[in-house]
């Protein structure tokens, strides 16, 4: 770990604070805020904070082993990088940087359908650490083609997001005029001018690669659309409920590992499990979809009871430290996905941020497990205070 960076950014909390200062308001709010007044975001944080451990000190403990076998591969740590659409606006080429960092540390990187880079490019960067997240197009021919592209690119894991059935109204984005491309008015111009590090780096990226766009949809756009219309077309293309029938069709086409992301209700979990999915990612979308939704941690034991003790369950939402990772793993999760901290790190530190936050989370996990007297992740549940 870079000692200079560690002194300046010793925690995700410090990284977040620096990132929010460096980002223009429209982008800072996009990453930081949730739906409505943010109650669901806070619920994620509060649920994690409520998990307490009882440490053990009278044990002979070896150096904590974070290595994890999951989906037929061995990972250096039990967490991965969650898919984040528009992440390239936190820092230029964010997805590509994170993909390369994931490959370096041997943890999963999940490429978003709405990344500002193609799924093919991101697989090249992440190699066999690459997973692909699908916002399922509501046109079957487009759905089929994107899945075929993911197969051809070499992805082994497909993660289908199910918790975006309708278009969203996020007050902060409306207030800030956040759009792709950004609306240029006095507010956005002021924010761009008063955040020069972000602005200059974004401008340089545009000069090198052109205006940002959702590259995965380039071949599906009707001819003659202007930029705003094309963005709206792509957004509308992914609206709709993901029924068991849809998952059945995707399961028939996809030969690799199939994950459903965004499940909170045990009844949904059972329906998807019956259609042959390999894992479920319990998630409230980082608090960004339904303000009244429970946290993933609240629903984890109920979904575990529904699907059985051996069915692989992943969780995301609210992770800001290695301690939070330990809390989720101790509560029954087999693997954890993390979103915001990685993009805060890039916004705060630039390209160096990706590696730093991975190293930080790993070191924090080792510290926590050492305090608890745990050599292996499987021992964490024994330390939870009921």
Instruction: Tell me the DSSP string of 3-31.
Output: HHHHHH--SHHHHHHHHHHHS-HHHHHHH
Counting DSSP H helices and E strands in the chain, the numbers are 17, 10
Which residues is 384 bridged to in the sheet?
53
Answer whether 364's CB lies under 8 Å from 324's CB: no
Of 10-14, 131-135, 232-236, the least confident = 232-236
pTM (2 d.p.): 0.94
CA distance 121 to 131: 13
State mean pLDDT over 87-115: 96
CA distance 140 to 148: 12
CA distance 70 to 93: 28
Of 123, 172, 195, 285, the catalytic one is: 285
Report which secondary-structure segment, H or E, holds 147.
helix 140-153
Residue 308: pLDDT over 70? yes
Mean of pLDDT over the chain: 93
* Residue recorded with tokens 């904590």: 64
State mean pLDDT over 96-121: 97
What is the predicted pLDDT for the residue at 180? 65
The CA angle 312-316-318, to the nearest 5 degrees, is: 150
- DSSP letter string over 282-338? E--GGGTS-TTPPPHHHHHHHHHHHH-TTS-EEEES---SHHHHHHHHHTT-SEEEE
Q: Give 51-90 pLDDT, tens digit per residue.
A: 999 999 998 888 999 999 999 999 999 999 999 988 888 9
The CA angle 16-314-57, to the nearest 5 degrees, is: 75
Active site residue 285: yes
Token duo for residue 336:
């954890």
The CA angle 27-30-32, to the nearest 5 degrees, is: 105
């Amino acid at each position: 770990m870079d000692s200079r960076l560690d002194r300046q950014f010793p925690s995700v909390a410090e990284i977040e604070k620096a990132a929010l200062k460096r980002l223009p308001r429209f982008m800072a709010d996009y990453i930081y805020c949730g739906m409505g007044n943010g109650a669901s975001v806070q619920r994620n944080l509060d649920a994690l904070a409520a998990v307490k451990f009882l440490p053990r000190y009278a044990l002979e403990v070896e150096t904590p082993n974070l290595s994890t076998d999951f989906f037929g591969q061995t990972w250096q740590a039990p967490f991965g990088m969650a898919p984040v659409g528009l992440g390239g606006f936190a820092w230029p080429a964010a997805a590509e940087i994170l993909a390369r960092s994931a490959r370096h540390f041997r943890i999963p990187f999940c490429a978003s359908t709405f990344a500002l880079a193609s799924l093919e490019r991101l697989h090249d960067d992440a190699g066999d650490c690459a997973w692909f997240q699908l916002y399922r197009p509501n046109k079957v021919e487009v759905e089929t083609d994107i899945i075929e592209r993911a197969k051809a690119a070499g992805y082994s894991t497909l993660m289908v997001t199910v918790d975006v059935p309708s278009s969203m109204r996020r007050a902060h984005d409306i207030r800030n005029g956040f759009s792709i491309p950004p609306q240029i008015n006095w507010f956005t111009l002021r924010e761009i001018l008063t955040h020069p590090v972000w602005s200059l780096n974004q401008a340089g990226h545009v000069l090198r690669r052109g205006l940002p766009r959702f590259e995965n949809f380039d071949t599906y756009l009707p001819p003659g659309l202007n930029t705003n219309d094309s963005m709206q077309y792509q957004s509308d293309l992914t609206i709709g409920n993901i029924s068991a029938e849809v998952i059945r069709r995707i399961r028939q086409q996809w030969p690799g590992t199939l994950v459903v992301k965004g499940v909170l209700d045990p009844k949904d979990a059972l329906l998807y499990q019956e259609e042959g999915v390999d894992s479920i990612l319990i998630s409230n979308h980082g608090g960004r979809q339904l303000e009244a939704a429970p946290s993933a941690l609240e629903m984890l034991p109920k979904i575990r009871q529904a699907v059985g003790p051996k069915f692989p369950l992943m969780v995301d939402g609210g992770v800001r430290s290695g301690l939070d990772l330990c809390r989720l793993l101790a509560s029954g999760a087999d693997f954890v996905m993390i979103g915001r901290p990685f993009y805060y790190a890039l916004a705060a530190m630039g390209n160096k941020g990706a590696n730093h936050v991975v190293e930080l989370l790993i070191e924090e996990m080792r510290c926590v497990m050492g305090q608890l007297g745990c050599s292996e992740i499987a021992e964490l549940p024994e330390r939870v205070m009921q």
